[in-house]
A and B are shown apart, each in its own frame.
Chain A
Amino acid sequence: MAEIRTEEMLINMGPQHPSTHGVLRLKLALSGEIVDDVKPYIGYLHRCFEKHCEAMTYSQIIPYTDRMDYLNSINNEHAYALAVEKLCGIELPERVEYIRVIMAELQRIASHLVAIGTYGNDAGAFTPFLYCFIDREKVLELFEMVCGARLLYNYIWIGGLSHDITPDFIRKTKEFITYMRPRITQINGLLTYNKIFIERTINIGMLPVDVAINSGASGPTLRGSGYKYDLRKHDTYSIYNKVDFDVCVGTGEYGTIGDCWNRYIVRVDEMEQSLRIIEQLIDNIPEGDVQSAVPKRVKPPVGEVYVRTESPKGELAYYIISDGGIKPFRVKARSPSFCNVSLLEKISKGHMIADVVMILGSFDIVLGCIDR
């Protein structure tokens, strides 16, 4: 039989595509339905964050850090404020630390809800997406109660917070905790343990632990491969050493450890752990003034600092070099999705197009973070 001449087909999952979670371009080289090569092209959302930082004072940078990972603003601000405070040597009142952690955990729940909802949408299940967003509305209402903004807050200032919380907020947060727990069970029943969804996500995109660590993967991507490492526990910052929570790893309940389903289940379990943290903190917030340690002018000494924090997407770190003036010399944001997306090339070889979409969804990327 004569050799049939075959050609590799190049298909472009272009910057505009319903499933690339933002403006990401993937160039797929296919033979039939099997993917031979994936090349991600980023930079469509590059807004020159780092160059802007060199032209603004330290406090003026905070709204810009919000907009990097826009689904997760509080954690961005928290990481940046921690970095500057470490450099300046500012001591924070306890009340500020407690409120910051409560806000960060609420934001973690909101971010994971988006990840879970859109992952279901990629798989074709349209309803869990809307159910997750109903729950996310409740979290955004809590944020609006405190600082007036739903998505981009400018709430965590260097040395303190912009607004104090009210007793109403505490009451509503407790109501939210009792509301959210059964909703997680409902999402599990609807999506997580659905046979078709399990078949779509198991044994796809296997990520061995050593490849993950070497490539800089972090957060649920790394924990889905079974490696128990959480920056909140192992390199603790703020008051995370005072709260008790478990580090969630991929359990291998379905599929093998390191596949998409296990990365996904880490996120679902983390929401439960965040609720636990909020529960432990919400009743014990000490009294104090949230603005007492906010300096009039932030002028750090000459030096540099590197602070790593655990954002819902992974390890978010800020590297700030100061030359003694009121504007930073260099600010570098190390974003978790940047390292996670570079993994896509290596682990999607040999799968089908539908699987590439699922693998990308399991990394939970946000293009604002990647492109800065």
Chain B
Amino acid sequence: METAEIYEKLKKTFTEGIGELKTNLPVYPFFFVDADKVNAICCFLRDEESLQFDNLSCLSGVDYDIDNLAVVYHLYSYTLNHQLVIKTTVPKTNPVVRTVSDVWVAAEWHEREAFDLIGVNFEGHPDLRRILLPEDWEGHPLRKDYKVPDFYNGMKVPY
């Protein structure tokens, strides 16, 4: 199925919470969804007969622009061989997104990484703590306005 058809199907089931389908940029079309509806939409995408998105290929956190963070979901279906890209944006002042780790178990570690590097809080995640950086590191490195701290536990950081 093409993205446009999946978009139409989703629009029929979830009347609100789904943004516009953007088709003008390379390479593939995508659309935005609301941060608190993400879990419900993903459940529908996974369980619906004609869609069956059983695999979350990648979940990335992106520092979208000055005020917003984004989370990008790349979904794939092994059984029906189609793919989908959905995004959600949250403001930097309150970056809370509903987790999808109960829909796809793969999301557990990906969401921890997004929390670690970008700073998006996933509400409902079983074990949200830093994964790549040490537990007591301050700051979220992949943000554009990140400044490297001078000292970490008494050791000088930049050298």
Direct contact of A and B (CB under 8 A): yes
Task: Please report A residues at the B interface, Cβ cutoff 8 Å.
Answer: 42-43, 46, 48, 50-51, 86-87, 89, 210-211, 213-216, 227, 229, 234-235, 301-306, 308, 315, 317, 319, 321, 330, 332, 334, 338-339, 342, 346, 371-372
A213-B78, A216-B57 given as contacts; is B106 within 8 A of A303 (CB)? no
Contact A302 B74 (CB under 8 A): no
Instruction: State whether the Cβ of B40 lies closer than 8 Å to any Cβ in chain A.
Output: no
Instruction: State whether the Cβ of B45 lies closer than 8 Å to any Cβ in chain A.
Output: no
Interface residues of chain A: helix, strand, loop or mixed (majority): mixed
Find chain A residues with CB under 8 A from B130 CB. 43
A338 to B57, CA, bound (A): 12
- Contact pick for B25, options A211, A303, A315, CB 8 Å: A303
A50 to B114, CA, bound (A): 12
Contact B55 A46 (CB under 8 A): no
* Least Cβ–Cβ distance between B86 and chain A, in angstroms: 12
Contact A214 B142 (CB under 8 A): no
Give the residues from 76 to 94 in chain B that come closer than 8 angstroms, CB to CB, to chain A. Answer: 76, 78, 81, 85
Find chain B residues with CB under 8 A from A215 CB. 104-106
A86-B27, A213-B54, A303-B27 known; 18 other A-B pairs, CB under 8 Å?
Answer: A214-B106, A216-B56, A216-B57, A216-B106, A227-B78, A229-B78, A234-B81, A303-B25, A304-B25, A304-B27, A306-B27, A306-B74, A319-B58, A319-B60, A332-B60, A334-B57, A338-B110, A346-B105
Find chain A residues with CB under 8 A from B78 CB. 213, 227, 229
Instruction: State whether the Cβ of B141 lies closer than 8 Å to any Cβ in chain A.
Output: yes
- Contact pick for A334, options B25, B58, B105, B134, CB 8 Å: B58
A209 (CB) vs chain B CBs: closest residue: B78
Q: List 22 A-B contacts (CB under 8 A).
A: A42-B132, A43-B130, A43-B131, A50-B142, A87-B27, A211-B105, A214-B105, A215-B104, A215-B105, A216-B55, A235-B81, A302-B25, A304-B25, A306-B27, A306-B57, A308-B57, A315-B57, A319-B60, A330-B62, A342-B106, A342-B108, A372-B132
Instruction: State whether the Cβ of B72 lies closer than 8 Å to any Cβ in chain A.
Output: yes
- For the complex of A and B, the 3 pairs showing the least CB-CB separation, nearest first, are A216-B106, A303-B26, A43-B132
Instruction: State whether the Cβ of B28 lies closer than 8 Å to any Cβ in chain A.
Output: yes
Find chain B residues with CB under 8 A from A371 CB. 132
Contact B28 A216 (CB under 8 A): no
A370 (CB) vs chain B CBs: closest residue: B132
A139 to B108, CA, bound (A): 38
Instruction: State whether the Cβ of B109 lies closer than 8 Å to any Cβ in chain A.
Output: yes
A43-B132, A43-B134 given as contacts; is B26 within 8 A of A317 (CB)? no
* Least Cβ–Cβ distance between B46 and chain A, in angstroms: 9
* Least Cβ–Cβ distance between B129 and chain A, in angstroms: 10
* Least Cβ–Cβ distance between B85 and chain A, in angstroms: 7
A48 (CB) vs chain B CBs: closest residue: B141
Contact B26 A301 (CB under 8 A): yes
- Contact pick for B28, options A214, A306, A332, A338, CB 8 Å: A306
Give the residues from 3 to 26 in chain B that come closer than 8 angstroms, CB to CB, to chain A. Answer: 25-26
Find chain B residues with CB under 8 A from A346 CB. 105
* Least Cβ–Cβ distance between A242 and chain B, in angstroms: 20
A179 to B62, CA, bound (A): 48
A305 to B85, CA, bound (A): 10
A362 to B72, CA, bound (A): 31
Instruction: State whether the Cβ of B117 lies closer than 8 Å to any Cβ in chain A.
Output: yes
Find chain B residues with CB under 8 A from A342 CB. 105-106, 108-109
* Least Cβ–Cβ distance between A191 and chain B, in angstroms: 32
A330 to B132, CA, bound (A): 18
Contact B26 A305 (CB under 8 A): yes
Give the residues from 50 to 71 in chain B that come closer than 8 angstroms, CB to CB, to chain A. Answer: 54-58, 60, 62-63
Give the contact-size bracket for chain B. 20 to 34
Interface residues of chain B: helix, strand, loop or mixed (majority): loop
A88 (CB) vs chain B CBs: closest residue: B26
* Least Cβ–Cβ distance between B58 and chain A, in angstroms: 4
Find chain B residues with CB under 8 A from A304 CB. 25-27
Find chain A residues with CB under 8 A from B134 CB. 43
B60 (CB) vs chain A CBs: closest residue: A332
A50-B142, A301-B26, A304-B25 given as contacts; is B58 within 8 A of A43 (CB)? no
Instruction: State whether the Cβ of B133 lies closer than 8 Å to any Cβ in chain A.
Output: yes
Find chain A residues with CB under 8 A from B62 CB. 321, 330
A11 to B141, CA, bound (A): 32
A301-B26, A319-B72 given as contacts; is B85 within 8 A of A306 (CB)? yes
Find chain B residues with CB under 8 A from A42 CB. 131-132
A87-B26, A302-B25, A342-B108 given as contacts; is B132 within 8 A of A46 (CB)? yes
Find chain A residues with CB under 8 A from B133 CB. 43, 46
A317 to B58, CA, bound (A): 8
A207 to B63, CA, bound (A): 36
Q: Which of B81, B108, B131, B142 has the most CB of A within 10 A?
A: B131
A338 (CB) vs chain B CBs: closest residue: B109
